Protein backbone atom coordinates (compact mmCIF):
# COMPACT_ATOMS: atom_id res chain seq x y z
CA UNK A 1 0.00 0.00 0.00
CA UNK A 2 1.18 3.53 -0.78
CA UNK A 3 2.18 5.44 2.33
CA UNK A 4 0.45 8.69 3.18
CA UNK A 5 2.14 12.05 2.85
CA UNK A 6 2.72 13.23 6.43
CA UNK A 7 1.64 16.74 5.52
CA UNK A 8 -1.65 15.53 4.07
CA UNK A 9 -2.91 14.83 7.60
CA UNK A 10 -5.05 17.36 9.43
CA UNK A 11 -4.08 18.15 12.99
CA UNK A 12 -6.92 15.96 14.29
CA UNK A 13 -5.75 13.07 12.10
CA UNK A 14 -2.18 13.52 13.32
CA UNK A 15 -3.37 13.49 16.94
CA UNK A 16 -5.44 10.37 16.32
CA UNK A 17 -2.45 8.60 14.79
CA UNK A 18 -0.13 9.65 17.63
CA UNK A 19 -2.53 8.30 20.24
CA UNK A 20 -2.85 5.04 18.27
CA UNK A 21 0.92 4.43 18.53
CA UNK A 22 1.08 5.25 22.22
CA UNK A 23 2.22 8.88 22.01
CA UNK A 24 0.65 11.77 23.89
CA UNK A 25 -1.53 14.42 22.26
CA UNK A 26 0.96 17.24 22.85
CA UNK A 27 3.58 15.30 20.85
CA UNK A 28 1.32 15.51 17.79
CA UNK A 29 1.02 19.26 18.34
CA UNK A 30 4.82 19.52 18.42
CA UNK A 31 5.08 17.67 15.11
CA UNK A 32 2.34 19.84 13.59
CA UNK A 33 4.21 23.00 14.63
CA UNK A 34 7.40 21.72 13.02
CA UNK A 35 5.55 21.05 9.77
CA UNK A 36 3.61 24.30 9.38
CA UNK A 37 5.16 26.94 11.62
CA UNK A 38 8.84 26.06 11.32
CA UNK A 39 8.75 24.63 7.80
CA UNK A 40 10.98 21.59 8.27
CA UNK A 41 11.46 19.26 5.32
CA UNK A 42 12.89 16.26 7.15
CA UNK A 43 11.65 14.40 10.22
CA UNK A 44 15.17 14.50 11.67
CA UNK A 45 14.99 18.31 11.85
CA UNK A 46 12.35 18.12 14.61
CA UNK A 47 14.78 18.68 17.47
CA UNK A 48 12.37 18.42 20.43
CA UNK A 49 10.70 15.22 19.15
CA UNK A 50 11.85 11.91 20.63
CA UNK A 51 13.93 9.49 18.59
CA UNK A 52 11.17 6.89 18.95
CA UNK A 53 8.51 9.21 17.52
CA UNK A 54 10.78 10.26 14.66
CA UNK A 55 11.33 6.59 13.86
CA UNK A 56 7.58 5.92 13.88
CA UNK A 57 6.91 8.90 11.62
CA UNK A 58 9.55 7.69 9.15
CA UNK A 59 8.12 4.17 9.18
CA UNK A 60 4.51 5.23 8.59
CA UNK A 61 4.67 8.29 6.35
CA UNK A 62 6.33 9.79 3.32
CA UNK A 63 7.51 13.40 3.47
CA UNK A 64 7.65 14.79 -0.10
CA UNK A 65 9.24 18.24 -0.09
CA UNK A 66 10.49 20.91 -2.46
CA UNK A 67 14.19 21.53 -1.80
CA UNK A 68 15.76 24.77 -3.01
CA UNK A 69 18.94 24.00 -4.93
CA UNK A 70 19.94 26.98 -7.08
CA UNK A 71 19.13 30.67 -7.19
CA UNK A 72 19.78 33.49 -9.63
CA UNK A 73 19.75 37.19 -8.83
CA UNK A 74 18.49 39.70 -11.38
CA UNK A 75 19.92 43.17 -11.90
CA UNK A 76 16.65 44.54 -10.46
CA UNK A 77 16.90 42.43 -7.29
CA UNK A 78 14.46 39.73 -8.36
CA UNK A 79 15.50 36.28 -7.10
CA UNK A 80 14.64 33.11 -9.05
CA UNK A 81 14.88 29.88 -7.08
CA UNK A 82 14.89 26.36 -8.46
CA UNK A 83 13.15 23.77 -6.28
CA UNK A 84 13.82 20.07 -6.72
CA UNK A 85 10.94 17.63 -6.30
CA UNK A 86 11.30 13.88 -6.68
CA UNK A 87 14.73 12.95 -8.03
CA UNK A 88 14.48 14.33 -11.52
CA UNK A 89 11.94 17.17 -11.54
CA UNK A 90 12.24 20.85 -10.75
CA UNK A 91 9.93 23.85 -10.49
CA UNK A 92 10.72 27.53 -10.15
CA UNK A 93 9.65 30.22 -7.71
CA UNK A 94 10.43 33.92 -7.81
CA UNK A 95 10.88 36.59 -5.13
CA UNK A 96 10.03 40.06 -6.45
CA UNK A 97 11.08 43.07 -4.36
CA UNK A 98 9.47 46.45 -5.10
CA UNK A 99 9.31 49.66 -3.04
CA UNK A 100 5.81 48.84 -1.79
CA UNK A 101 5.80 45.06 -1.45
CA UNK A 102 7.79 41.84 -1.32
CA UNK A 103 6.06 39.21 -3.45
CA UNK A 104 6.61 35.47 -3.81
CA UNK A 105 5.50 34.00 -7.14
CA UNK A 106 5.07 30.25 -6.73
CA UNK A 107 4.33 27.19 -8.84
CA UNK A 108 1.50 24.70 -8.42
CA UNK A 109 2.39 22.00 -10.96
CA UNK A 110 5.48 20.45 -12.52
CA UNK A 111 4.97 21.60 -16.10
CA UNK A 112 1.60 22.64 -17.50
CA UNK A 113 -1.06 21.05 -19.68
CA UNK A 114 -2.62 24.22 -21.13
CA UNK A 115 -0.02 25.04 -23.82
CA UNK A 116 -0.71 28.78 -24.09
CA UNK A 117 1.27 29.97 -27.09
CA UNK A 118 2.95 32.93 -25.41
CA UNK A 119 4.16 31.07 -22.32
CA UNK A 120 7.43 29.16 -22.00
CA UNK A 121 5.99 26.95 -19.24
CA UNK A 122 3.23 25.85 -21.61
CA UNK A 123 5.85 24.14 -23.78
CA UNK A 124 6.78 21.79 -20.95
CA UNK A 125 5.26 18.39 -20.49
CA UNK A 126 2.75 18.22 -17.66
CA UNK A 127 4.32 15.80 -15.16
CA UNK A 128 2.35 16.06 -11.95
CA UNK A 129 0.62 18.25 -9.40
CA UNK A 130 2.65 19.58 -6.51
CA UNK A 131 1.51 18.54 -3.05
CA UNK A 132 0.24 21.15 -0.61
CA UNK A 133 3.48 20.73 1.30
CA UNK A 134 5.65 21.30 -1.78
CA UNK A 135 3.72 24.49 -2.56
CA UNK A 136 4.10 25.58 1.07
CA UNK A 137 7.86 24.89 0.89
CA UNK A 138 8.28 27.47 -1.87
CA UNK A 139 6.50 30.11 0.19
CA UNK A 140 8.49 29.30 3.33
CA UNK A 141 11.83 29.42 1.51
CA UNK A 142 11.03 32.64 -0.37
CA UNK A 143 9.80 34.18 2.90
CA UNK A 144 13.13 33.23 4.50
CA UNK A 145 15.00 34.64 1.49
CA UNK A 146 13.15 37.97 1.81
CA UNK A 147 13.98 38.21 5.49
CA UNK A 148 17.63 37.27 5.13
CA UNK A 149 18.52 39.03 1.88
CA UNK A 150 16.42 42.18 2.20
CA UNK A 151 15.47 42.24 5.90
CA UNK A 152 11.89 42.77 4.72
CA UNK A 153 9.00 40.40 5.50
CA UNK A 154 7.10 38.70 2.72
CA UNK A 155 4.00 40.79 2.01
CA UNK A 156 2.27 39.07 -0.92
CA UNK A 157 1.97 35.66 -2.58
CA UNK A 158 0.85 35.04 -6.15
CA UNK A 159 0.10 31.61 -7.58
CA UNK A 160 1.37 32.66 -10.99
CA UNK A 161 4.34 30.37 -11.47
CA UNK A 162 4.42 27.08 -13.32
CA UNK A 163 1.14 25.24 -13.79
CA UNK A 164 -2.60 25.95 -13.64
CA UNK A 165 -3.60 26.28 -9.95
CA UNK A 166 -7.26 25.37 -10.48
CA UNK A 167 -6.25 22.03 -12.01
CA UNK A 168 -4.58 21.28 -8.67
CA UNK A 169 -7.50 22.65 -6.69
CA UNK A 170 -7.36 20.60 -3.49
CA UNK A 171 -3.63 20.99 -2.90
CA UNK A 172 -3.64 24.70 -3.73
CA UNK A 173 -6.44 25.41 -1.26
CA UNK A 174 -4.82 23.23 1.38
CA UNK A 175 -1.53 25.10 0.96
CA UNK A 176 -3.36 28.42 1.36
CA UNK A 177 -5.01 27.11 4.52
CA UNK A 178 -1.60 26.46 6.08
CA UNK A 179 -0.16 29.76 4.86
CA UNK A 180 -3.04 31.72 6.40
CA UNK A 181 -3.72 29.65 9.51
CA UNK A 182 -2.50 30.96 12.87
CA UNK A 183 -1.04 27.46 13.31
CA UNK A 184 0.90 28.01 10.10
CA UNK A 185 2.44 31.20 8.70
CA UNK A 186 -0.48 33.41 9.75
CA UNK A 187 -0.58 35.52 6.58
CA UNK A 188 -3.76 37.28 5.53
CA UNK A 189 -5.70 35.70 2.67
CA UNK A 190 -6.08 39.22 1.30
CA UNK A 191 -2.35 39.11 0.54
CA UNK A 192 -2.74 36.07 -1.72
CA UNK A 193 -3.76 35.99 -5.39
CA UNK A 194 -4.48 32.83 -7.37
CA UNK A 195 -4.21 33.17 -11.13
CA UNK A 196 -6.09 30.97 -13.58
CA UNK A 197 -6.25 30.67 -17.35
CA UNK A 198 -10.03 30.46 -16.94
CA UNK A 199 -11.36 27.09 -15.77
CA UNK A 200 -14.99 28.16 -15.46
CA UNK A 201 -16.22 25.17 -13.45
CA UNK A 202 -13.49 25.60 -10.85
CA UNK A 203 -13.98 29.37 -10.65
CA UNK A 204 -17.60 28.67 -9.69
CA UNK A 205 -16.36 26.20 -7.09
CA UNK A 206 -14.15 28.90 -5.60
CA UNK A 207 -17.33 30.92 -5.16
CA UNK A 208 -19.14 28.00 -3.52
CA UNK A 209 -16.18 27.53 -1.19
CA UNK A 210 -16.33 31.25 -0.29
CA UNK A 211 -12.58 31.74 -0.62
CA UNK A 212 -11.04 34.86 0.91
CA UNK A 213 -8.04 35.25 -1.40
CA UNK A 214 -8.02 37.26 -4.62
CA UNK A 215 -8.63 35.77 -8.06
CA UNK A 216 -6.84 36.81 -11.24
CA UNK A 217 -7.73 35.60 -14.73
CA UNK A 218 -5.26 35.44 -17.61
CA UNK A 219 -7.47 36.99 -20.28
CA UNK A 220 -5.07 38.44 -22.90
CA UNK A 221 -7.79 38.84 -25.53
CA UNK A 222 -11.43 39.92 -25.38
CA UNK A 223 -12.74 38.10 -28.45
CA UNK A 224 -13.09 34.36 -28.77
CA UNK A 225 -11.33 34.38 -32.14
CA UNK A 226 -8.14 35.87 -30.74
CA UNK A 227 -8.27 34.08 -27.40
CA UNK A 228 -8.77 30.71 -29.13
CA UNK A 229 -5.61 31.41 -31.12
CA UNK A 230 -3.36 31.93 -28.10
CA UNK A 231 -5.11 29.90 -25.37
CA UNK A 232 -6.54 26.45 -26.12
CA UNK A 233 -8.54 26.55 -22.89
CA UNK A 234 -10.85 29.13 -24.49
CA UNK A 235 -12.20 26.52 -26.88
CA UNK A 236 -13.93 24.76 -23.97
CA UNK A 237 -14.23 27.76 -21.62
CA UNK A 238 -15.14 30.59 -23.96
CA UNK A 239 -15.58 34.20 -22.94
CA UNK A 240 -19.31 33.92 -22.34
CA UNK A 241 -18.92 30.87 -20.10
CA UNK A 242 -15.96 32.47 -18.35
CA UNK A 243 -17.95 35.65 -17.74
CA UNK A 244 -20.83 33.70 -16.22
CA UNK A 245 -18.49 31.96 -13.79
CA UNK A 246 -16.84 35.24 -12.81
CA UNK A 247 -20.18 36.90 -12.09
CA UNK A 248 -21.13 33.90 -9.96
CA UNK A 249 -17.80 34.13 -8.13
CA UNK A 250 -18.40 37.81 -7.40
CA UNK A 251 -21.93 37.18 -6.16
CA UNK A 252 -20.66 34.53 -3.76
CA UNK A 253 -17.53 36.28 -2.49
CA UNK A 254 -17.95 40.01 -3.13
CA UNK A 255 -14.36 39.98 -4.40
CA UNK A 256 -13.55 41.89 -7.56
CA UNK A 257 -11.57 39.87 -10.11
CA UNK A 258 -8.36 41.06 -11.78
CA UNK A 259 -7.88 40.52 -15.50
CA UNK A 260 -4.31 39.98 -16.61
CA UNK A 261 -3.81 41.25 -20.14
CA UNK A 262 -0.39 40.63 -21.66
CA UNK A 263 -0.10 42.99 -24.59
CA UNK A 264 1.46 41.64 -27.82
CA UNK A 265 2.67 43.67 -30.78
CA UNK A 266 0.16 43.80 -33.66
CA UNK A 267 -2.06 41.14 -32.09
CA UNK A 268 -4.03 42.54 -29.16
CA UNK A 269 -2.63 46.06 -28.76
CA UNK A 270 -4.88 48.17 -30.99
CA UNK A 271 -7.61 50.60 -29.96
CA UNK A 272 -10.12 48.11 -31.38
CA UNK A 273 -8.72 45.53 -28.95
CA UNK A 274 -9.05 48.04 -26.10
CA UNK A 275 -12.66 48.67 -27.14
CA UNK A 276 -13.37 44.92 -27.09
CA UNK A 277 -11.81 44.64 -23.64
CA UNK A 278 -13.81 47.57 -22.29
CA UNK A 279 -17.02 46.09 -23.68
CA UNK A 280 -16.30 42.69 -22.12
CA UNK A 281 -15.62 44.27 -18.75
CA UNK A 282 -18.89 46.23 -18.65
CA UNK A 283 -20.82 43.43 -17.00
CA UNK A 284 -18.01 42.45 -14.64
CA UNK A 285 -16.58 44.24 -11.58
CA UNK A 286 -12.90 43.94 -12.51
CA UNK A 287 -9.49 45.51 -12.33
CA UNK A 288 -7.15 45.22 -15.31
CA UNK A 289 -3.42 44.62 -15.19
CA UNK A 290 -1.89 45.44 -18.56
CA UNK A 291 1.35 43.46 -18.62
CA UNK A 292 4.45 44.08 -20.68
CA UNK A 293 5.25 40.95 -22.72
CA UNK A 294 8.47 39.03 -22.21
CA UNK A 295 9.41 37.35 -25.51
CA UNK A 296 10.44 33.70 -25.34
CA UNK A 297 12.87 31.87 -27.59
CA UNK A 298 11.18 30.70 -30.77
CA UNK A 299 7.92 32.45 -29.88
CA UNK A 300 5.72 34.13 -32.48
CA UNK A 301 4.91 37.23 -30.40
CA UNK A 302 6.87 40.38 -29.66
CA UNK A 303 6.70 43.26 -27.22
CA UNK A 304 4.50 46.11 -28.35
CA UNK A 305 5.76 49.66 -28.76
CA UNK A 306 5.59 52.24 -25.98
CA UNK A 307 3.26 54.35 -28.12
CA UNK A 308 0.70 51.57 -28.61
CA UNK A 309 1.00 50.51 -24.97
CA UNK A 310 0.28 54.05 -23.82
CA UNK A 311 -2.63 54.51 -26.24
CA UNK A 312 -4.16 51.19 -25.14
CA UNK A 313 -4.01 51.98 -21.43
CA UNK A 314 -5.15 55.57 -21.93
CA UNK A 315 -8.25 54.40 -23.78
CA UNK A 316 -9.24 52.25 -20.81
CA UNK A 317 -8.43 54.93 -18.23
CA UNK A 318 -10.52 57.47 -20.08
CA UNK A 319 -13.47 55.14 -19.59
CA UNK A 320 -12.97 55.15 -15.84
CA UNK A 321 -11.65 51.62 -15.72
CA UNK A 322 -9.25 50.52 -12.99
CA UNK A 323 -6.02 49.86 -14.88
CA UNK A 324 -2.48 49.13 -13.70
CA UNK A 325 0.51 48.84 -16.01
CA UNK A 326 2.84 46.06 -14.91
CA UNK A 327 6.46 46.31 -16.03
CA UNK A 328 8.56 43.17 -16.25
CA UNK A 329 10.87 42.12 -13.45
CA UNK A 330 13.70 39.61 -13.64
CA UNK A 331 13.85 39.42 -17.43
CA UNK A 332 17.63 38.97 -17.46
CA UNK A 333 17.31 35.68 -15.52
CA UNK A 334 14.14 34.43 -17.29
CA UNK A 335 12.11 35.06 -14.14
CA UNK A 336 9.50 37.37 -15.63
CA UNK A 337 5.88 36.57 -16.42
CA UNK A 338 5.63 33.68 -18.88
CA UNK A 339 9.35 32.88 -18.81
CA UNK A 340 9.50 30.07 -16.25
CA UNK A 341 10.57 27.06 -18.26
CA UNK A 342 13.18 25.11 -16.31
CA UNK A 343 15.94 26.11 -18.72
CA UNK A 344 18.41 24.70 -16.22
CA UNK A 345 16.57 21.41 -15.75
CA UNK A 346 19.23 19.14 -17.26
CA UNK A 347 22.22 20.71 -15.46
CA UNK A 348 20.23 20.59 -12.22
CA UNK A 349 19.48 16.90 -12.39
CA UNK A 350 22.71 15.99 -10.53
CA UNK A 351 21.78 18.53 -7.84
CA UNK A 352 18.35 16.97 -7.46
CA UNK A 353 19.84 13.51 -7.26
CA UNK A 354 22.27 14.66 -4.54
CA UNK A 355 19.46 16.13 -2.47
CA UNK A 356 17.28 13.04 -2.71
CA UNK A 357 19.95 10.38 -2.13
Among 81, 84, 112, 337, the one annotated catalytic: 337
Query: Is 92 one of the catalytic residues?
Result: yes
Among 92, 164, 260, 292, the one annotated catalytic: 92
Query: Is 281 one of the catalytic residues?
Result: no
Whether 145 contacts 79, CB under 8 Å: yes
User: What is the SS3 assignment for the chain?
Assistant: CCCEEHHHCCHHHHHHHHHHCCCCHHHHHHHHHHHHCCCCCCHHHCCCCCHHHHHHHHHHEECCCCEEEEEEECCCCCEEEEEEECCCEEEEEEEEECCCCEEEECCCEECCCCCCCCCCHHHCCCCEECCHHHHHHHHHHHHHHHHHHHCCCCCEEEECCCCCHHHHHHHHHHHHHHHHCCCCCCCCHHHEEEEECCCHHHHHHHHHCCCCCEEEEECCCCCHHHHHHHCHHHHCCCHHHHHHHHHHHHHHHCCCEEEEEEEECCCCCCHHHHHHHHHHHCCCCEEEEEEECCCCCCCCCCECCHHHHHHHHHHHHCCCCCEEEECCCCHHHCCCCCCCCCCCHHHHHHHHHHHCC
- Would you name the residues annotated as active-site residues? 92, 337
Amino acid sequence: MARKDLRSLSKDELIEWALSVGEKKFRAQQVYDWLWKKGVKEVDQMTNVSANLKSLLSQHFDFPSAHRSVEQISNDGTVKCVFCVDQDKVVEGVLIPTPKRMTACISSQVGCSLACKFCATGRLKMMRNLTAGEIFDQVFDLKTEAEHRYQIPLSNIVYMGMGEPLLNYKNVLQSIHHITSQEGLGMSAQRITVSTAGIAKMIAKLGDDAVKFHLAVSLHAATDEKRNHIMEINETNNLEVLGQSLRYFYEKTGSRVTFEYIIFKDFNDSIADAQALAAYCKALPVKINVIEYNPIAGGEYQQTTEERLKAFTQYLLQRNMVVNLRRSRGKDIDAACGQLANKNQSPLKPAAEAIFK
